[in-house]
Structure 1
């Protein structure tokens, strides 16, 4: 890490969370050479990241999405940005605020991007980015500014421009019930309709969403924010 000039701004305090030891070591070595950045800790699990954030008060948490056993990067992000760990312990960083989370991952699916942003991530970068882009994104995240990889920004804009499927009120009701894990019989009872009617509506929902499974319908509905 390059030391800040006398009287200059304090370095951005970083906590790195990645379950791959080799990747984490590479990030630490890379960030050590970055101007205005100070790595204050490293974590291999979401639970460890929450505990360290509560103790070290980083400005930014560099977060992978897939963390092996335990909670994933999205759930860890949600808990960090809301300022509480599982036990209710505060995870606030400097100036009494929750740390900003900058996702750094190899996954760029629409579902992953949407889940991370909805969980409160300030930025979303791919691991293929150049070091200079990563450094700039860290500084941007520390200031609360959005930082997105080019491909990610393109997907976000494309999804915003994409018209949402025109579902009827009844189809939305059934989709909401479907998302809770209910079967056709339970949905029929909950909505006071016949099971055959539920099946008819499901076929129409599948056609409109371009899927052929219940899980696929729920995934697309969450991705396109069609659920209540």
Structure 2
């Protein structure tokens, strides 16, 4: 069983990645972190894991990679933008993926790293596309309420939970989902999570909508 640690400050991407990976029988998410401090403590607690972390966490990469190596773990970097990594840092990474990674690509990268191989997505260390036309188009078609539902779906919430959080009826959520599926071109919840994971602009909009729900609930 491959034990995975996910560390990313973008909730939608982290939740989507966790949903994708948790579907695999040979993978188990042992921890999720949204900041560098939490990640540091988790690495020491769960040794011999695969640590998937974002460059956006403002980490000291040499120190982080040293702690990962000391714990007998391997590292996969989520590259947020064009990166020019020092050769010493590059050599210590088991894998590099971009935000535009698809679900199957993410799974394959984890499995390669788990086998002791390297999985470097070249687009993650070169200039990445600055505009996501599909993500922007779908984002603009979805209503604010639909974006909130997308955010909750990606987090793994069931219709009953979503209805409770949005103070409405479960049947209303089902009606919203039919509209969301039609606008995104997907057929079920997992496909919706994967679609959101793949399109950065949509993921960012859903993350903001999800934050509004949390603020209202606080």
Select the residue among 14, 32, 36 that pairs with 1:42.
32
Partner of 1:26, secondary structure, is helix
**Counterpart for residue 151 of structure 1:** 123
Unaligned runs of 5+ in 1: 1-10, 84-91, 93-97, 156-228
Distance in 2 between the 1:108 and 1:129 partners? 15
Distance in 1 between the 2:33 and 2:63 partners? 12
- Runs of 4+ residues over 3 Å off in structure 1: 112-116, 152-155
- Per-residue CA distance 1:154-212 (angstroms, 9 max, x = gap): 89xxxxxxxxxxxxxxxxxxxxxxxxxxxxxxxxxxxxxxxxxxxxxxxxxxxxxxxxx
1:62 aligns with 2:52: yes
Residue 146 of structure 1 and its aligned partner are, at CA, apart by 0.7
Select the residue among 128, 131, 141 that pairs with 2:103.
131
Residue 108 of structure 1 and its aligned partner are, at CA, apart by 3.1
Residue 47 of structure 1 and its aligned partner are, at CA, apart by 2.3
Distance in 1 between the 2:88 and 2:124 partners? 13
Residue 77 of structure 1 and its aligned partner are, at CA, apart by 3.4
Unaligned runs of 5+ in 2: 128-218
Structure 2 CA distance for partners of 1:24 and 1:81, relative to 1, 3 Å: same
Distance in 2 between the 1:16 and 1:105 partners? 14
* 1:77 and 1:121 in contact (8 A); partners too: no
Aligned residue pairs total 127
RMSD: 2.5
**Counterpart for residue 105 of structure 1:** 79
Residue 23 of structure 1 and its aligned partner are, at CA, apart by 2.2
Structure 2 CA distance for partners of 1:37 and 1:82, relative to 1, 3 Å: closer
Partner of 2:56, secondary structure, is coil
Structure 2 CA distance for partners of 1:82 and 1:100, relative to 1, 3 Å: closer
Superposed, which structure 2 residues align to 1:1-228 within 5 Å? 11-67=1-57, 71-72=58-59, 74-75=61-62, 77-83=64-70, 92=71, 98-109=72-83, 111-112=84-85, 114=87, 116-118=89-91, 120-152=92-124
Partner of 2:44, secondary structure, is helix
- Per-residue CA distance 1:137-167 (angstroms, 9 max, x = gap): 1011112211011435889xxxxxxxxxxxx
Distance in 2 between the 1:112 and 1:101 partners? 14
Query: 1 or 2, which has the higher helix percentage?
Result: 2
**Counterpart for residue 224 of structure 1:** none
**TM-score, scaled relative to structure 1:** 0.49
Distance in 1 between the 2:30 and 2:36 partners? 16
* 1:15 and 1:58 in contact (8 A); partners too: no
Computing the radius of gyration from Cα coordinates, the structure with the larger value is 1
Partner of 1:101, secondary structure, is strand
